[in-house]
Chain A
Amino acid sequence: MRKQFVSTLIDIANHDDRVVLLTADLGFMVLEPFAEHHPDRFFNVGVAEANMMSLAAGMANEGLIPFCYSIATFASMRGYEQFRNGAVLHQLPVRIVGIGGGFAYGTAGPTHHALEDIALMRVQPGVGIIAPADDGQVDRALRDHYARPQPMYLRLAKETASHPELDGRFRWGRLEVIGDGDIVIVAIGSMTGVALEVRRQLQAAGIQTAVAVAASIAPAPTDDLVALLSSKGACITLEDHRPIGGLGSLVAETIADHGMGVRLVRCGVTDPTGETTGSEEYLRRRNGLDVNGVMAAVRRTGLVPA
């Protein structure tokens, strides 16, 4: 997704000279093409995320559209107060680009695992939060929405991904739904691949499910969730994030706010902080975020045979 982001941003910047790219000294073998195409609009600000956030607010106030690139943890947390008092308070078009949500940085360890970034961004008013499922969504979301007036947080996976079922669809404040069934799996980002595999396995067993991709976390796809879940038996949320404050919370709040009776099972990262580390695959498995873990969550709904 990183490379797709850069490729699309170069194209956008070819046509819009308001676009600038700032990085806090990260993006080796990723950002160079942008720097080559637009050397006058690329700034490595150094390892200084707090400064990057306020620089971006100052630049946006002058009419530019700055993208602030770093690993998701540093991008979302190190300059959080600067983002809050700058881009959010003044509602300026600053874009934080957080790379590697969840366990994408695996063995790099807990300092590099972004497990609460969505929660932090959700509580800030007027911030768009986009967590694309694949490269097609990255491209569509950027092209259609890069110039919106409010601040945004883009949570991008490191690796490239493509889900033909999505066909690159992305709509602001909407769900993209694949298939139908009494069980709905709502997923974000790279968890979409796990959700689709679970759907395939259940389908093979004769059980129909819908996979709803919530790439637009804010604005929340509230209307779509209400319409989708009101007649369903169960909903499973799937996120590489703490179950508090992220997608699971969003869906739980929506169900409660609208008095719906749908059974909800939230899958997220429940490991105590920093207990162990390892590959993304291993850490997902530990937290029940692999196919087997999600199948177990589906069984907990009571709607499929044990």
Chain B
Amino acid sequence: MAGGNTTQTLSSVRVRRLIIEQSKRAHVGHIGSALSIADILVALFSGTVDAETDVFILSKGHAALALYCVLAELGMISHEQLDTYCGDDTQLGVHPDHTLAGITFSTGSLGHGPSLGAGVALAKRIAGKPGRVFVLMSDAELNEGSVWEAVMFAGHHKLDNLTVILDNNGQQALAPTAEVINLSGVDRLVQTLGWESLRVDGHNVDALTAALAAQIPGRPLFVIADTVAGKGVSFMERQVKWHYLPVDDEQFAQAMGEIG
């Protein structure tokens, strides 16, 4: 189970630097998605997620690099392990593998996380076990029908131990989400289906932490985190191509300079 260590201070800057470094070293893309969720992960793993009782599921598995960097910063995996990212015979592929410390579920196919999370949340209720379930998903995942099956189920069963965080970066693999399937009214949709919906700046760690602390009896929590794909590197921000591309030497230097 992934969990935060409250004695360790996670830094968004450090996580972003690691993302760029590892992506450069491994010559692998998905940088934009990883930078998009960096602050959400920092908020989650700076005390929100209880390592003993809670379960975290990265439904948008393609952003696993950000999670690996957080796990390394927390000491749950070593930095030597992090350096195996996308090598041969590694547990650190582009998408997360449950055999790695800190990963509960392997993901990579979109739209599975909310259902898995609802199952864990329901099982905890049946067994009378404490703990919350956090699912981090992309806005493009809302296209998957199974997401709505899970949203309906969790709302009906009042799974208030379940929290979904939407990485609302407005961008998907081929185009802006608003041009593919416009779901700008998702907050009203989930509320209608029995959820509590909150909207928050997805790059403000304090605001995220406060939003994630909200628990409303009888209502699962849906946190819409407004984010920017590629956040922190000017030439990557809101650019579809940085869903795919690795960085060259010049871009690497500029990116590290901007992150600080």
Contacts and interface: CB of A to CB of B under 8 A. Distances in A.
Nearest to B99: A90
Nearest to B98: A90
Interface stretch (B18-26, B143-151, B215-223, B238-246): B143-151
B152 A58 contact: no
B119 A57 contact: yes
B109 interface: yes
Interface in B48-70: none
Interface in A27-48: 40-41, 43, 45-46, 48
Contacts of A64: 123, 126-127
Given A46-B153, A61-B104, A85 B109 contact: yes
A265 interface: no
A50 B105 contact: no
A58 B123 CA distance: 8
B204 interface: no
A51 B126 contact: no
A54 B112 contact: yes
Contact of A54 (B98, B115, B126, B145): B115
Q: Which DSSP category, helix, strand, loop or mixed, fits chain B's interface? A: helix
B118 interface: yes
B27 interface: no
A175 B153 CA distance: 41
A278 interface: no
Given A48-B153, A50-B115, A54-B116, A82 B122 contact: no
B209 interface: no
Contacts of B14: none
B15 to A, nearest CB: 27
B141 to A, nearest CB: 13
Contact of B146 (A43, A56, A82): A82
Contacts of B107: 85
B199 interface: no
Q: Which DSSP category, helix, strand, loop or mixed, fits chain A's interface? A: helix
A61 B55 CA distance: 11
Interface residues of A, number: 27
B117 A58 contact: yes
B124 interface: yes
A13 interface: no
B256 interface: no
A89 B122 CA distance: 21
A49 to B, nearest CB: 9
Name which of A40, A41, A57, A60 has the most chain B CB atoms within 10 A of its CB: A57
A258 B97 CA distance: 36
Interface in A149-184: none
B193 interface: no
B84 interface: no
Contact of B119 (A40, A48, A55): A55
10 contacts: A20-B126, A50-B145, A51-B118, A54-B116, A58-B105, A58-B116, A62-B119, A62-B123, A81-B109, A82-B112
The 6 closest A-B CB pairs, nearest first, are A58-B119, A54-B115, A51-B149, A62-B123, A55-B119, A48-B149
Interface of B: 98, 104-109, 112, 115-124, 126-127, 129, 145-146, 149-150, 152-153, 156-157
Given A58-B121, A59-B120, 17 more contacts: A43-B122, A43-B157, A50-B149, A51-B115, A51-B149, A54-B118, A55-B116, A57-B116, A58-B105, A58-B117, A59-B119, A64-B123, A64-B126, A82-B146, A85-B108, A86-B105, A89-B98
